[in-house]
Structure 1
Amino acid sequence: MRIVIEFYRTRDADGAHAIVGRETAEAIDLVGAIGIGRARSLTLDMPQFPDCMSITDAEGKRLYSGQLGANDNPEERMPQ
């Protein structure tokens, strides 16, 4: 499946976030997509180190959103 990964920084005071990077990739499933996102969060050249990421499919449907370094259980991160 084709995915879009957005990396962003959050501001604790009001929950605002700023996108610091965006990447497209191919993944077999959600677990693979999360792995790709985590790996690229460490290797991509971005203006700031991201503290969160979100993953959408090619149509823009959010599949995952979570903090980098947080529990990787997709069921805990999928939107309701």
Structure 2
Amino acid sequence: MHYTFEFYRIRPGDKAHATLDRVQQEASDLDAAMMKARSLFASLDLPQRPDGVRILDEGGAELFVWNPGGH
């Protein structure tokens, strides 16, 4: 299945989300996609460090959100 990983920042004042990057990935299931997302979170070269990552399915529905800092 194809998944989209959306890496984002959270603005402190109003908690608005700004997307830093979207990455398309293939994974056998959601658990495998979550492992890939966490791995990319630590290794992806972005101009800013993301605050979180969302995983979207092929239709754009949100399946998982991970914020390591608990935002």
What TM bracket, shorter-length normalisation? 0.7 to 0.9
Deviation at 1:42, TM superposition (A): 1.6
Stretches (4+) displaced over 2 A: none
- Corresponding residue number in structure 2 for 1:75: none
The answer to whether the 8 A contact 1:38-1:68 is kept is no
- Corresponding residue number in structure 2 for 1:4: 4
Structure 2 gaps, min length 5: none
TM-score by length of 2: 0.87
Could you tell me how far apart the structure 2 residues matched to 1:68 and 1:57 are?
21
Structure showing greater relative contact order (alpha-carbon pairs closer than 8 Å, 6 or more residues apart): 2
SS of equivalent to 1:45? coil
Q: Does residue 51 of the first structure (1) align with residue 24 of the second (2)?
A: no
Matches within 5 A, 1:1-80: 1-68=1-68
Could you tell me how far apart the structure 2 residues matched to 1:67 and 1:21 are?
15
Cα deviation code 1:15-61 (max 9, x no counterpart): 10111111010111111111101111122111101111101011111
The answer to whether the 8 A contact 1:2-1:58 is kept is yes
SS of equivalent to 2:48? coil
TM-score by length of 1: 0.78
Percent identity over the alignment is 40
